[in-house]
Amino acid sequence: MQQHQAPARRVTIVDVARHAGVSTTAVSKVLRNAYGASPAMRSKVQQAIAELGYRPSAAARGLRGQTYTIGVMLPELRNLFFADILDGIDTQLGDSDYQVLLAAGCNGEKAEAKVIDAMIDRSMDGLILIAPVSAKNRLTEIARGVPTVVVGRHGSSPAYDSVTDDDITGAALVVDHLVGLGHRRIAHIEHHETDRVRLAEMPNAQRARGYRDAMIAHGLEAEIDIASTSYTQAGGYAGARQLLDRPQRPTAIFAGADVVALGALEAITEAGLTVPGDISLAGYDNSALAALGPISLTSVDQDGRQMGATAARLLIERIGRRDRRTAQVKLTPTLVVRRTTAAI
Amino acid sequence: MQQHQAPARRVTIVDVARHAGVSTTAVSKVLRNAYGASPAMRSKVQQAIAELGYRPSAAARGLRGQTYTIGVMLPELRNLFFADILDGIDTQLGDSDYQVLLAAGCNGEKAEAKVIDAMIDRSMDGLILIAPVSAKNRLTEIARGVPTVVVGRHGSSPAYDSVTDDDITGAALVVDHLVGLGHRRIAHIEHHETDRVRLAEMPNAQRARGYRDAMIAHGLEAEIDIASTSYTQAGGYAGARQLLDRPQRPTAIFAGADVVALGALEAITEAGLTVPGDISLAGYDNSALAALGPISLTSVDQDGRQMGATAARLLIERIGRRDRRTAQVKLTPTLVVRRTTAAI
DNA sequence: CGTGCTGTGGGTAACGTTTTCCAAATGTTT
DNA sequence: AAACATTTGGAAAACGTTACCCACAGCACG
């Protein structure tokens, strides 16, 4: 028994070939289930692989072709909704040969570019970009180089597949629900957006549009009232403060995201008002946050698992046939009613 | 202008060399800041790199040596505490050449092994394992092959560095605080553990031990009362139910983790009791959950950022000198008092 | 008995880096 | 001016796979 066994050179395909008494080509064929290997040889090689504990080097593979690695970029780790998407991806890819690796883009165009470049440098076989903030032509450029699926960004591209949730419908669900409860002065807190493309593609912009459309559909055009801040807790607090200061304060607030609702809740409580007694409050995302007993927020559920699974499926298909036409899958959200909304 | 520009072969080190009129060796030297390149050549090459937008292929690099990639395994994405650790790692590695890639181990020994193997296959330069559940000798084996830092697991190893938080002290902080408020019947909800090594190494076991020790130190040995469930919301609910059914129910509950406290809160509320009126409640981790206004849970803060930064620093050091003696860094937690604990 | 398949298996050249070397040029000391 | 060190730059061999060939055997067909 040695104290310091030599650094233990990794066992390679050559070792396996020698041990099984065949060529490396043969081993490679078995590894990839490629054509041209008899059952006899197949089992001989598989046995050698098992005996030696051989594992193919992804680096060497990457140099030649596939790495069996899929990169997932997500904007941040703190948003629990993204964990659902990841679950969906993992479920779908669970027993495939692909390994999923994650990196956070930190919601900045620069950090996002760095992360995506890093994934490309590592010759990943495919990319799933969750709610990317990069410019559209940048995304297209990326997708031309490597199979890509974009999640949570509306609008279609000839270069990448996309999976979105119908945010317009989601916003309408909230408005319909509140109107059904007798509310008319329903306000909205949105994430401020100026860029033209983003106005069309980003979920936050779609939610605001859905709110407006639904209000108009209910003949409440005159009651439309939007506080434009950001999708953060602080943004929710600020937005609610603005709305509460109106001469006639709203009887219901539709926050564009659950964290926003949380900030709003804080502002409302601070103002000495109660939810849903004085004001009804609804969020968006149905994050774990919303489900928490003491919060119990009415929210729009996006089924992240489904989105993730769909994205993974589309990606695998595209890796298989890169010239396939791109698909745009749009899922439909549902409303989860909890204790923050009530009849007026 | 072509419709379908050719798949655009990646620009390689050879292209750069040709464009700059030097050898590939020279380019490689510049790339790695290696010895043997004059300032003149350096700038010439750098210009060529910029002009061609060259990026080194990590796959090719991996085949020869470093990949400039660090793998982080974390048990799950839903625990916000891990996001803090990640932030720390990112901060520390921010402007280094290393890229961090994540994968979730899903809290299972098998899934964990798969993830770690995948990282090794991809010739990552170093691994940070957060709260791994694998057997200790497995960890040692891994660490012999690739520089490794283990976070959140007590006990030392000659093969890997480790970063932990002093869970015994953390538990004592809670008990001291509650005793200071006049509590005597202080119960604990722990994560059940039987394995001997784990009993010594896992944070949950340490917290239980710290609770016991602190109770004894306060002369409250007779009041020690532990519900043994799991570190989940459901576990917290079940544990609290057990404790509430005692002939003399506790006046304070110390939950081993914030999610556990959340489950406990549910059970307590359901039983028609109030927090902290009837029962004081404390958690552990000071997750974003605990800070939420409506919850406002007294909890032990572990400074995940600091842990992550330390782990990253140790890892870089070890990558530099693989034969350096291993270090065990133990950080000290602090107590964050909020609204769920009060004088009896 | 040629002729053409089909099924098996292997030889070998990439893939894009890094890392030894080694050679030439330049500078520094006797 | 000879001897020696230092700096500068390059040639070429790995690293572990895969993919494109080609060779050979066995077989069916006319």
| Closest to B145 measured CA to CA, from A5, A196, A243, A102 | A5
Q: What is the pLDDT of residue A292?
A: 78
Q: Which chain D nucleotides are covered by protein, judged by CB under 7 A?
A: 7-12, 14-21
Stretch A248-275: mean pLDDT: 91
**Does residue B269 sit at the A interface (CB-CB below 8 Å)?**
yes
Q: What is the pLDDT of residue A4?
A: 42
Q: What is the pLDDT of residue A323?
A: 83
**Does residue B317 sit at the A interface (CB-CB below 8 Å)?**
no
State how far the Cα of B336 lies from the Cα of A335, in Å rounded to an integer: 36
Residues of chain B short of pLDDT 70, as ranges, are 1-8
Q: What is the pLDDT of residues A97-107, one digit of tens each?
A: 899 999 988 77
Q: Do B102 and A103 touch (CB under 8 A)?
A: yes
String of b and e for B291-327 (b: at least 16 CB within 10 Å)?
bbbbbebbbbbbbbbbbbbbbbbbbbebeeeeeeebb
**Does residue A55 sit at the B interface (CB-CB below 8 Å)?**
yes
Say how many C-beta atoms besides its own lie within 10 A of residue A196's C-beta. 8
Q: What is the pLDDT of residue A6?
A: 47
Residue, of A40 and A215, whose pLDDT is higher: A215
State how far the Cα of A74 lies from the Cα of A17, in Å rounded to an integer: 41
Q: Do A59 and B59 touch (CB under 8 A)?
A: yes
| Closest to B255 measured CA to CA, from B342, B185, B171 | B171
The number of C-alpha atoms within 13 Å of A14 and in the hemisphere containing its C-beta is 3
CA A36 to C1' C1, in angstroms, rounded, equals: 30
Q: Do A63 and B82 touch (CB under 8 A)?
A: no
**Does residue B60 sit at the A interface (CB-CB below 8 Å)?**
yes
Stretch A34-50: mean pLDDT: 89
Q: What is the pLDDT of residue B195?
A: 80
State how far the Cα of A7 lies from the Cα of A167, in Å rounded to an integer: 55
Q: What is the pLDDT of residue B316?
A: 94
Model confidence band, residue A7 (pLDDT cutoffs 50, 70, 90): low
Q: Show residues of chain A in contact with B100, CB under 8 Å.
A: 103
Model confidence band, residue A8 (pLDDT cutoffs 50, 70, 90): low
Per the prediction, chain A carries an average pLDDT of: 90
CA of B259: which chain A residue's CA is closest? A292
**Does residue A117 sit at the B interface (CB-CB below 8 Å)?**
yes
Q: Do A121 and B294 touch (CB under 8 A)?
A: no
Q: What is the pLDDT of residue B7?
A: 53
**Does residue B86 sit at the A interface (CB-CB below 8 Å)?**
yes
Using alpha carbons, list the distances in angstroms from residue A301 to A47, A189, A233. 49, 18, 19
Give the nucleotide with minimal C1' distance to the Cα of A24.
C10
Q: What is the pLDDT of residue B122?
A: 94
Q: What is the pLDDT of residues A230-244, one digit of tens each?
A: 988 889 999 999 999
Q: What is the pLDDT of residue B291?
A: 82
Q: What is the pLDDT of residue B279?
A: 92
Q: Do B78 and A144 touch (CB under 8 A)?
A: no
The answer for residues whose C-beta is within 8 angstroms of residue B161's C-beta and 6 or more apart is B148, B149, B150, B311, B314, B315, B318, B326, B327, B328, B329
Q: Which chain C nucleotides are covered by protein, judged by CB under 7 A?
A: 7-12, 14-21
Is A57 in a helix, a strand, or coil?
coil
State how far the Cα of B154 lies from the Cα of B56, in Å rounded to an integer: 39
Model confidence band, residue A113 (pLDDT cutoffs 50, 70, 90): very high
Determine the distance in angstroms separating the CA of A216 from the nearest CA of chain B, rounded to an integer: 34
Residues 205 through 264 of chain A touching chain B, CB cutoff 8 Å: 262
The pTM of this model reads: 0.89
Q: What is the pLDDT of residue B81?
A: 83
Model confidence band, residue A5 (pLDDT cutoffs 50, 70, 90): very low
Mutate one of A66, A73, A122 to test the B interface: name it (highest B CB count within 10 A).
A122
